[in-house]
Every structure is written in structure tokens, then in C-alpha cells.
Amino acid sequence: MKSSKLTFLDKKIIKLLQDKGFIKSEALKLLSCEVYELDHKERSQILEESKHFGKNYQEAAILKHIETKRENYILSLLDQANYVVAGRHINDLLIQ
């Protein structure tokens, strides 16, 4: 994964992982495994949806799944770091 392809949330995830003691290459590998790698269930679901909605839907579905995984992963990291997440928008937490 190239650093130039990282989204804003990816960079925040890497920063949170570095705060936990990971070096950048370890954080990138973990990000790749936890966010960008789709498991069998997710791939099957996307395949079924693309059969129903058409081939053009597949890329959008993949991006949607990755975005959801990214948001869930950063929320779990914030929760592990004892950030108060309840009742606050994720962007408020990430601006800091």
C-alpha cells in the first residue's frame, strides 16, 4: 500500500496505531489486513449484490464495504484508547 493512496481516515488510523507503539510499516500492514482485505463472507455478499444490481455496482460495493470497515476500525481504536465516542461525531474526534 502506497502512502500516496491513503485517505484522511487511513492516516488517522496509522497515527493511532503509532501512538500504541507500532512502527509505520507495521501500522500499514495492519491497516491493509483489517480494512482493505475483504473476507469470504464480504466477497460473497458483494458478488451476490453485483449479480442483482449489475457489474457496474461491484466497484461501488467494494468501496462501500472498505469505508464501513475503515470507520468501524477507527472507532474501535478510539474506544481502546479510552476516547469518549458516545454522542460525538467522528470528525470531532479526528480534528484533534
**pTM: predicted TM-score of the whole model, two decimal places:** 0.75
Residues 8-32 pLDDT 10s: 999 999 999 998 899 999 999 999 9
Place of cell 501512538: 19
- Are residues 89 and 74 in contact, defined by beta-carbon separation less than 8 angstroms? no
Q: Where are the domains of the chain?
A: 3-95
Backbone angles phi, psi at 63, to 5 degrees: -60, -40
Q: Which of 8, 3, 9, 6 is nearest to 70 (CA)?
A: 9
Query: In the prediction, which pLDDT does 52 show?
Result: 87
Instruction: Compute CA 3 distance to the chain's CA centroid, rounded to the nearest angstrom.
Output: 15
Residues 38-80 pLDDT 10s: 999 999 999 998 888 887 888 899 999 999 999 999 988 887 7
